[in-house]
Amino acid sequence: MDTVLYNPAATVTAPAPWGRVRRSRYVADRALKVICTLFTLLGAFVLGWILLMLVVEGIGGLSPAVFTETTPGPGTAGGGIANAIVGSLILTVLGIVAATPIGVLAGTYLAEYGKTSMLATIIRFVNDILLAAPSILIGLFVYMLMVQPMGGYSGWAGGVALAIIAVPVIVRSTEDMLRLVPSSLREAGAALGAPMSTVIMKISWKAARAGMVTGVILATARIAGETAPLLFTALNNNFWFSPTLMGGVSNLPVTIYQFALAPYENWRELAWAGALIITLSILALSVVARLLLKKDKVR
């Protein structure tokens, strides 16, 4: 009798033909591409719809009086939002002036000095929390920190709230831009006998200048339209604010919020005009930031 030998390879299922595998992969790739395209078009359609409605309604509310007159009283005709525009500019400048040195120096420490130290790890963790923190909580924090002890709302409190929102953005962008600077540039500076501070200021900062400025501009765009923290800090004012910035300070975000809910037609028109002004301002800042970043990459 012949002996039949057991062959383990004979029990293994033969692989599917290569053509069938390629066909299934091609179908899956095309299906995913179609789904991604459809959702991209859906998002673009919704965004375009919002922008179109904003442009149509906003242009209808624009007039020279918008930039020259103060906000009107209830039931009165005409008026503008000149005081709110100036107030927003002042609050934004206060916030970004306070946030820029803190954010740049903190980002420099993380990229140049701290790197993988325990303190740097803690700072990054706290910075990430602040990046995701709701702005209304920051407004409430500044309300407890400044508004209550000072006995009233003020532009200073509003500037501090906006600065707290801007700092994490500047810290993250500064650290990322400095990390992109080649280590060979730092080593060359150190080889010439330059101290660490000189290497950072003359080499690292100069090489990452465009990216760092871009981060500051993006932070400015981030805080320009914030409403919730200003409700707790600067509140609002239908007239020109005090030169000391004590008391309510008029600003565009809160004015838009109040006027959009009002029953007066001219108030709603001014709200649309203010929303268009903020949108165009943020768009301009974003375009400038991208141009600077693109210029830095080309170099």
Q: Is residue 9 part of a domain?
A: no
Task: Find the domain containing 99 and state its range.
Answer: 64-298
**Residues 93 and 237 grouped into a single domain:** yes
Q: Which residues on neighbouring strands pair with residue 246, listed in sequence order?
A: 154
Q: Are residues 80 and 52 in the same domain?
A: no
Question: Do 147 and 238 reside in the same domain of the chain?
Answer: yes
Pair 103, 49 in one domain: no
Q: Are residues 23 and 71 in the same domain?
A: no
Structurally, how many domains does the chain consist of? 2
Residues 56 and 74 in one domain: no
DSSP 8-state code for residue 246: B
Place of tokens 């140049």: 112
Q: Is the pLDDT of residue 5 over 90?
A: no
**pLDDT over 60 (residue 3):** no
Residue 12 lies in a domain: no
CA–CA distance, 137 with 235 (Å, rounded to integer): 15
Q: Is residue 6 part of a domain?
A: no
Q: Is residue 98 part of a domain?
A: yes
Instruction: Tell me: pLDDT of 248 over 70.
Output: yes
Counting residues of the chain whose pLDDT is more than 90, the rounded percentage is: 50
Residues 86 and 22 grouped into a single domain? no
Is 48 inside a domain boundary?
A: yes
Give the chain's mean pLDDT.
Answer: 87
Judged by average pLDDT, the poorest of 43-52, 229-238, 284-293 is 284-293
- At residue 299 the predicted structure's pLDDT band, cuts being 50, 70 and 90, is low
- pLDDT at position 137: 92
Whose CA is closest to 95, among 145, 150, 170, 172?
170
In a domain? residue 10: no
- Residue 185 inside a domain? The answer is yes
The verdict on 85 and 175 lying in the same domain is: yes
Higher pLDDT, 9 or 153: 153
SS3 279: helix
Whether residues 48 and 91 share a domain: the answer is no
* Pair (140, 198) in one structural domain: yes
| Confidence band for 132, pLDDT divided at 50, 70 and 90 | confident
Tell me the mean pLDDT in the region 199-206: 90
Is the per-residue pLDDT at 2 higher than 60?
no
Tell me the average pLDDT across 260-273: 90
Is there a single domain that holds both residue 55 and residue 180?
no
Q: Report d(CA 252, CA 257) in Å as an integer.
A: 9
CA torsion 53→55→56→59, rounded to 10°?
150
Given a cut of 80, whether residue 79 has pLDDT beyond it is yes
The residue-averaged pLDDT of 124-150 equals 92
Q: What is the CATH number of the domain that holds 125?
A: 1.10.3720.10
- Whether residue 13 is contained in a domain is answered as no
116's tokens: 């993988």
Section 118-135 average pLDDT: 91
* Phi, psi angles (nearest 5°) of residue 184: -65, -30
pLDDT per position as a tens digit, 181-195: 988 888 888 888 888
Model confidence at 27, pLDDT cuts 50, 70, 90, reads: confident
- % of the chain residues with pLDDT over 70: 91
**pLDDT in the model for residue 73:** 84
d(CA 242, CA 235): 14
Whether residues 35 and 75 share a domain: the answer is no
Give the domain-ending residue among 36, 61, 86: 61
Q: Which residue has the higher pLDDT, 78 or 182?
A: 182
